[in-house]
Amino acid sequence: MRALTLVADRKLELRELPAPPPPGAGEVQIRVKAIALNHIDVWGWRGMAFAKRKLPLVVGAEATGEIAMVGAGATGIKIGDQVVMYGAITCGTCKACREGRDNLCENVSGVMGFHIDGFARDLLNMPVRLVIPVPTGIRARDAACAPIAFATVQHMLFDNAKLEPGETVLVHAGGSGIGTAAITMAKSIGATVITTVGDDAKTEKAKALGADHVINYRTERFEGLVRKITARKGVDVVFEHVGAETFNGSLLCLRRGGRLVTCGATSGPSTSLNLMQLFQQQYRIIGSFGASIRNIRESLAKMAAGMLPVIDTEVALADFERGLARLESRQVFGKIVVTF
């Protein structure tokens, strides 16, 4: 079978590997159909000195597939079912796992496609408890965006920031995969959305997606405009993932008691904080990484109801690296999907 492996920093090889053995007890074998790209793939591809992992590594962190074989005792699923997979091997038994807070598992053995082998291969075996059925009628390219893009946004906006109808949210990098999902999800509950984009060509696209106000952060100071748009009150929620370039400006955009939720630092990981501002303004800053299996089910339900991800481009497995370069360049509007 084919497996796309990272053999050195910025060096991928499409290798032929033996197919996995038949699935063990409680496992299923999945034939991968599509992979969606995320910034974690770019970090992994560039190389991260502090990440504990061994090369070669099969890449691919977010995917959908079809059940090819069912192991003993793996119930509730049959050959041919379309599924998405949870992208980390959790233990399933610790307190966090038992309470459905899968992304806080105390014994997680790593993020697939980053720390341990991922989904960019024709076949793999997974525990059935980490496999989520896809409702009928959802195309593979859309379902592939459920486990990370949609579920991360679902977790950030609703579990963590507790965004409510009628509130105002600032969504950074509205053209990114999670930015487009955040605009769509926030609008769907009746929030007002202000978003930032890096070039004017994305402005119209963000408006077409439902954004009420779009700011080009390269030509305008977004902090000032957000205060103007909100009549100096500030926004209720900031959806952060840009990091160093925007973080302090984001805090200035918050109303007193506002919530900032962040899941990324694409422009750099370090910043300084004014602690007086933090406590006097009673900000809540919430770190968010990944999502729960429940969030993936919620995301698939949204897709089944017609809320689809924005797809920037579809590329073949052999063009995975071209997809990563496009993502790294930030010249995207929506998700890049790799089809098998």
Q: Which residues bind Zn ion (CB under 5 A)?
A: 90-91, 94, 97, 105
What is the rounded CA–CA span in Å between residue 243 and residue 235?
18
How far apart are CB 291 and Zn ion at their closest, in Å? 15
User: Shortest approach of Zn ion to residue 144 CB, angstroms?
Assistant: 25
Nearer to Zn ion, 91 or 307 (CB): 91
Cβ 293 to Zn ion shortest distance, Å: 12
Query: Contact, 143 vs 82, CB < 8 A?
Result: yes
Q: At a CB cut-off of 8 Å and minimum separation 6, what does 274 contact? A: 248, 251
- Cβ atoms of 337 and 34 within 8 Å: the answer is yes
Q: Which is nearer to Zn ion, 128 or 191 (CB)?
A: 128
- Find the shortest distance in angstroms from Cβ 112 to Zn ion: 15
From 222, 215, 250, 219, select the one nearest 236 (Cα to Cα).
250
Residue number, 42 or 91, with CB nearest to Zn ion: 91
Of the pair 145, 291, the CB lying nearest Zn ion is at: 291
| Least gap, CB of 116 to Zn ion (angstroms) | 15
In degrees rounded to 5, what are phi and psi of residue 182? -65, -40
Nearer to Zn ion, 132 or 251 (CB): 132
- Pick 107 or 274: Cβ nearer Zn ion: 107
CB 212 within 8 A of CB 190: no
Cβ(327)–Cβ(303) below 8 Å: no
Please choose, from the candidates 247, 331, 339, the residue with its C-alpha nearest in 3D space to the C-alpha of residue 287.
Answer: 247
Shortest spacing between CB 329 and Zn ion, in angstroms: 37
Whose tokens are 């919620």? That residue is 298
